[in-house]
Structure 1
Amino acid sequence: MKRIISVLVLSVTVALYSGCSFTLNGASIPKDMKTINVEFFENNALFVVNNLSQQFTEALKERIRSQTRLTIVRTGEADATFSGAITNYTITPVSVQATNNSNAPPIANASRLSITVKVKYTNQSDKKLNFEQDFTKTADFTGDIASQEQNLILNINKQLTEDIFNKAFANWN
């Protein structure tokens, strides 16, 4: 058992000092990348939720802060930049229920909140890593959106930032 632990510690030490980009969370950040800029993601969707832009932008910054060694800086100083906009925010029915009144339209039994973010990632030192892509995530709910909207947005932002982070730093598609 001691031998296995020794080999594991030695492997991690060698990886860290050999110039590899290595982290335990799956991120692969080049050792020369030190800074990143996360620009404000404007809400350009037809339906605008007042705090959605701020919540999404901060969620992306927090994911970077908590899972990398990168320092978030302003434009011009950054080794890489995230920019973009929220392009879609929709609520659609996913199942309907008939009403007892034949003249009344059916009512939504369950609905789906969808958020799409257009993201541009620019890496100053390795242009092969640049991308521009739409990311969409959804959450299903029942009942009134008003009482659930902020929690749904929080969960969708978590999923979106995970996908964006993985695309930029783990090269997962």
Structure 2
Amino acid sequence: MYSFSGVSVSPDVKSISIATFQNTSSNGPSSLSQRFTEDFKDYFQRNTSIKQVPRDGDLQFEGQIIAYDYAPAAIQQTNGQDQAGVNRLTIQVRIKFTNTKDPKQDFEQTFQSNADFPATQDIARINNDPTAVRRITQNIITDAFNKSVANW
């Protein structure tokens, strides 16, 4: 085993393939699937020296974005009426990881992250702000990375 950036990967692992993560949730911006997949690939490229291949890598990722929910997270009273003070965007991604060199490392798990936004900020504005959604998806990508190659 060798390590770089806190990553422990067997020396016989030479390649990684990351399939497109389809958005099967009923919500979310149309670019979510492509943006998430590209960010996932970029994260592995920046943090490992494993060669990315289109398919059949020694390490394989696939999955779906299964939830994209924007809902009130904190209710407050304004002028005697209950209304949202804060809204929360929650994203869930189901990830299947296959390690062809060590099948004991395989997993299929749902990863989730969220962020709170002022109730005055509507979902359309958040969807059009790439940094708002990216903050949430980066947490999911980091968690999947840590579980798969950092063995956390």
Q: Which of 121, 125, 137 is 1:147 aligned to?
A: 125
Give the match for residue 30 of structure 1.
Answer: 10
Q: Deviations over 1:51-92 (max 9, x none)?
A: 11111101110010000001111113x111100000000011
Please say if 1:81 is aligned against 2:60: yes
Equivalent residues, number: 148
Q: Deviations over 1:8-49 (max 9, x none)?
A: xxxxxxxxxxxx3121x2111111111110000000012132
Measure, in 2, the Cα distance between the counterparts of 1:79 and 1:156.
28
Please say if 1:70 is aligned against 2:50: yes
Measure, in 2, the Cα distance between the counterparts of 1:107 and 1:72.
48
TM-score where L is the length of structure 1: 0.81
TM-score where L is the length of structure 2: 0.91
Task: Using the aligned pairs only, state the percent identity.
Answer: 34
Please say if 1:123 is aligned against 2:123: no
User: Structure 1: any 5+ residue segments left out of the alignment?
Assistant: 1-19
Give the match for residue 151 of structure 2.
Answer: 171
Please report how far the alpha carbon of residue 106 of structure 1 lies from its aligned counterpart in structure 2 after TM superposition: 2.5
Measure, in 2, the Cα distance between the counterparts of 1:48 and 1:63.
22
User: Structure 2: any 5+ residue segments left out of the alignment?
Assistant: none
More strand by share: 2
Measure, in 2, the Cα distance between the counterparts of 1:86 and 1:64.
19
Please report how far the alpha carbon of residue 151 of structure 1 lies from its aligned counterpart in structure 2 after TM superposition: 2.1
Give the match for residue 137 of structure 1.
Answer: 113
Measure, in 2, the Cα distance between the counterparts of 1:69 and 1:171.
17
> Equivalent residue of 1:54, what SS?
helix
Measure, in 1, the Cα distance between the counterparts of 2:99 and 2:29.
30
RMSD (CA atoms): 1.4
